[in-house]
Chain A
Amino acid sequence: MGKRHGESLVNKNNIMSELNLPSYLDQSEQVKDRFERMKKRPVTLQVKGLHKEFETPQGKVIALKDINFETYKREFVCVIGPSGCGKSTLIRILAGLETPTSGEVLLDGTAVTDPGPDRGMVFQGYTLFPWLTVKKNVMFGLEMAGHGNKNSEEQALQWIDLVGLSKFANSYPHQLSGGMKQRVAIARALANQPRILLMDEPFGALDAQTRAKMQSYLHEIWKNIDVTILFITHDLDEAVYLADRVLVLKAHPGEVQEVIEVPVPQPRSPDQLLSPEFLATKRRLEELIHPPEEEEGINEDKMNMVRMVDVNNEVESVF
């Protein structure tokens, strides 16, 4: 049975290779030109030799090992990797919520040590303050920055309008749906006009439909605002659909495996989900994150499935 499970994955890869896709490295002139221009922009975030170890009762665990990368101004970078690759640790270090064992993070050339409003963060869980209305939630950062009440309110209302929730400005978070909560969280982070927006699997808890909608919203916002976005996800489609470049991490220890320049032209639309460039990039990610040779390893935690259907069952086989 375990064999069959392995086969189906292999089949999936076979089907994708049979599709006769271009290489994910092939870029159209337009895309190539865009990347060239992007790389001439100033660097927003620079990560140098980042290393993080945790002390656990079982001994030292290396969560991140020698991570180096940079993001350019107004770039959209996705970080993807299998569970345990330290992607959450990475974003928490970038936010200043955790300190690296060694290495440094530079934002516009200045070292990051503490959490601060120049790096907005949207968490996977809902972190709106339940005791504040939507408007007051968005005003929170502005007030912390010392803006007056009236000024903060005006700005907050603009941001709420930007995420299309003006009607809910005076609602409390518990009255909103999951997608709406995350939109408020985005507005709240953006209100501080951060240099970079860090997003830790922000749509992970949403259903597929809301998720797709939120991806479009986010792209729309990103196009119109001067902000660099670093977005963590474990969803391959999400990564390819959103990112200019995808940073692929591998697990144990967490290391950068490859930085992929997504050859799908911008601006993106859901129609591109089946374009050859999209599928080629996805196949590459698939290879990196679920490498075929590791199928043997999977057998260790395979299910011990035996046939438990009565021989005389009226349905002989479900196939």
Chain B
Amino acid sequence: MFSKLFAVRKKLDSKQRIYFSILSFLTPLIIWSLISYVPFVWHPKVEITEPGDVVYFTQGMLIDREIFDREVETTRSEEKVIPQGLPANPIYLPAPHEVATALYTAFTTEPKRRSEKWLHESLWDSVQVIFWGFLISSIFGVPLGILAGTYDVFSRLFEPFVEFFRYLPAPAFGALAVAILGIHEAPKIAIIFIGTFFQQVLVISNTTRKLDPSLLEAAMTLGAKRLSLLFRVVIPGIITHLFKDLRILLGWAWTYLIVAELIGTSSGITWFITQQARYKNFDNVYAAIIIIGIIGLTTDIILATLGKKIFPWEKGTAKA
């Protein structure tokens, strides 16, 4: 049983795979719950339930445990009313149930000011920034990558510069993007573009180069020339891997989102997160972060399923 679980590069049976997938989400949740609900684990603060005779204590206040203990000692020795309190975690670590509630209430709570946006509106803004940034990057990046991977002349023409440019951190272009493109969506899209495009060209040209050259040779002996080699062999030959690359790159685009949204007027999910942190609604902050994760994972699962549908031969290439 035990040795079977740890067999090198052998697939578990489907039931076990599901159990372990659930466990992968359950483990962090269990650790979080332990820290949140078991009083003797961590809990460095005390939430005051009864201020007693300590002047600066108020009900619901979070105070360091040491200070609380000291005040308890002082009040006891001075024979005053002893303050009461419960062990608590810092405000930045809400309990799972609080975040779970926030996942719902964050959407239903009206913004504090009329000019501010609802959570779903902020999210929609973010999704749009990602979408446009990634789309524009792909429109240029995919063809350039394929060309560079197919023809050495394009490889030499693009890749050295791209290789250099990809080391320039995208956020460094923030100020420049604002100066050129204004303070609204455009500079944010530009940052996503800069963050994605250069990686994309290199990743895709590499993928293109991995195409089995004997397929190209076979095609040539069947009479394929130049453009038909590109369109009938290279592109269909790499399309499944290309699709996987794009899924991974889309994940990278999300990591640039937070920086991008801080540029110019803060907007989208990042604006929501910073705003909520300012109000110390950390349960909402966690909720927003989790929502980003959910959106990312869901898109990826949808794309993966879509991939299986449109590339019916994919199972075979994966094996080969």
Chain A residues within CB distance 8 Å of chain B: 95-97, 114-117, 119-121, 123, 125, 127, 129-132, 140-141, 144-145, 172-175, 185, 188-189, 192, 198
Contacts and interface: CB of A to CB of B under 8 A. Distances in A.
13 contacts: A115-B220, A121-B221, A123-B214, A125-B212, A130-B316, A130-B317, A130-B320, A132-B236, A144-B232, A172-B316, A174-B315, A185-B218, A192-B223
Interface range, B side: 20 to 34
Interface of chain B, main secondary structure: helix
B224 interface: yes
B224 A144 contact: yes
Interface string B237-260: 101100000000000000000000
Contact of B223 (A127, A145, A185, A198): A145
Contacts of A172: 312-313, 316
Interface of B: 212, 214-215, 217-225, 228, 232-233, 236-237, 239-240, 311-313, 315-317, 319-320
Contact of B214 (A127, A131, A188, A198): A127
B316 A173 contact: yes
Given A125-B214, A144-B228, A131 B313 contact: yes
A129 B313 CA distance: 10
A174 B223 contact: no
A141 B217 contact: no
Contacts of A117: 221-223
B182 to A, nearest CB: 44
A172 B215 CA distance: 15
A263 B239 CA distance: 51
A140 B233 CA distance: 10
B221 A131 contact: no
B222 A188 contact: yes
A174 B313 contact: yes
A145 to B, nearest CB: 6
Contact of A144 (B222, B236, B237, B317): B222
Contacts of B239: 131
Contacts of B219: 129, 140
Given A123-B217, A131-B239, A131-B311, A174 B222 contact: no
B313 A130 contact: yes
B157 to A, nearest CB: 25
Given A125-B214, A140-B232, A174-B316, A131 B237 contact: yes
Contacts of A188: 222
Contacts of B315: 174
B25 to A, nearest CB: 33
Contacts of B218: 121, 123, 127, 129, 185
B217 A97 contact: yes
A119 B218 CA distance: 11
B215 A129 contact: yes
A172 B236 CA distance: 14
